[in-house]
Amino acid sequence: MKKAAFIIPYFGKFPNYFSLWLKSAGMNRDYDFYIFTDNKLDVPFPNVKIVHIKFEKFRSLLQDKVDFKINLKKPYKLCDYKPMYGLALQNYISNYPYWGFCDVDMILGDLNSFLSEPILKGYDKIYHLGHMTLLKNDNKCNLLWKSKHHINEPNSPYRYDEAFKTPYGCNFDEDQGFTQIANKSNIKCYYSTDYADLDYTKFNFFMLNNKAEKYSSIFKWNNGKLFAYYLINGEVASDEIAYVHLQKRKMQILVDKNVNKFLIVPNKFITSTDVEGILKRQKPNQIYLEYKKNRVRMIINHVQQHAIQQRIYRFAIKRFYRYWLDSK
């Protein structure tokens, strides 16, 4: 039996390094990857399963699971709906003990090196960010997204009905959303730092999530294994990691799609064995120009209308609730 099924809806153009993602997913034979897409794909890996579907049809599968009209007009908004995939797509994953969601702007390592049997059997939720999360395939976890929580708490996560009614991204799948809800529940959560989540403000690769966050990194993928390399006091150190999340960077591909090993350096895929030389030649404080160029737009998006909408909505409910208590 496979360990888990990953559900990945993707509508539109894939990243230019999608063939390398496919290779890294295909090497993880104990996991199946269901890609729901309107793209025509020819995939040579039996554990990567393509479900041809239009965006409107996929949206209807989600709409069927709630009793109000969802606001899902663009594929990017699908991020907020990730936690409900296990319920909405149960017909595809009913035979798997775990299901999950993950992104394609990453390269996977050997997941078996990190998702051992004690972890899978001992926890209900594994990882905490939207680019990869695994959940036990049972009613408790498949309905967790519908959990009620205390709306009057400061900085409380959105409820699903709030997140699903706005057209803007609410990060409901992330640690400030679904993960907070999970932490308030009675399920067992496992959160690790065995992956690389890259700082999108810097040109060089700096991890945001683990002990090497102060050190510029590069990565080596070798026949399904993924390693992070960095300089510490002039010496090269390395760790095997589960995956590297490239944060939607623009990457040049200087390797053949059939290659079995490559380096991931800022911001290229290359064939080289000179890990130490590449690390020592890096300039540590370079700004990622794509981030700098789009910074104003990113700030605007960060405080988009949904934040104002939801804060007004919550404030109004809170005021009404207090008024109702005072009138009793």
| Token pair in block for residue 228 | 């992070």
Q: Tell me, what's the pLDDT at 294?
A: 60
Is 264 exposed, middle or buried, given 0-12, 13-18 or 19+ CB atoms closer than 10 A?
buried
- DSSP assignment string, 252-314: EE-S-TT-SEEEEETTEEE--S-HHHHHHH--TT-B-HHHHHTHHHHHHHHT-HHHHHHHHHH
Taking the C-alpha atoms of residue 65 and residue 116, their distance in angstroms, rounded to an integer, is 32
Q: Tell me, what's the pLDDT at 313?
A: 56
| Token pair in block for residue 254 | 């200087």
Per-residue pLDDT of the chain (328 residues), as tens digits, is: 899 999 999 999 999 999 999 999 999 999 999 999 999 988 999 999 999 999 999 999 999 999 999 999 999 899 999 999 999 999 999 999 999 999 999 999 999 999 988 888 899 999 988 889 999 999 999 999 988 765 455 566 788 888 898 888 888 888 778 888 888 888 899 988 899 999 888 888 888 877 677 788 999 999 999 999 998 888 899 999 999 999 888 899 999 878 899 999 998 999 998 999 999 888 766 666 666 566 556 556 655 555 555 555 555 555 554 445 445 5
Q: Tell me, what's the pLDDT at 287?
A: 66
Is 38 exposed, middle or buried, given 0-12, 13-18 or 19+ CB atoms closer than 10 A?
middle
Taking the C-alpha atoms of residue 42 and residue 157, their distance in angstroms, rounded to an integer, is 40
Q: Which of 77, 296, 58, 63 is nearest to 168 (CA)?
A: 77
Taking the C-alpha atoms of residue 278 and residue 234, their distance in angstroms, rounded to an integer, is 13
Taking the C-alpha atoms of residue 304 and residue 164, their distance in angstroms, rounded to an integer, is 15
Non-local CB neighbours of 168 within 8 Å, separated by 6+ positions: 77, 304, 305, 306, 307
Taking the C-alpha atoms of residue 136 and residue 190, their distance in angstroms, rounded to an integer, is 12
What is the four-CA torsion angle of 189, 78, 206, 285, rounded to 10 degrees?
-150
Q: Tell me, what's the pLDDT at 38?
A: 95
Taking the C-alpha atoms of residue 148 and residue 278, their distance in angstroms, rounded to an integer, is 50
pTM strictly above 0.75 = yes
Q: Look at phi and psi of residue 127 and say left if phi exceeds 0, alpha if psi is from -120 to 50, else beta.
A: left
First to last CA, the chain: 58
Q: Tell me, what's the pLDDT at 222?
A: 96
Scan for tokens 């999108």, then name that residue.
Answer: 200
**Which sign does the torsion angle of CA 213, 215, 216, 221 carry?**
negative
DSSP, collapsed to helix, strand or coil, labels residue 157 as coil
| Token pair in block for residue 225 | 């294994």
Number of H helices, E strands in the chain: 12, 17
DSSP, collapsed to helix, strand or coil, labels residue 125 as strand
Q: Tell me, what's the pLDDT at 151?
A: 47
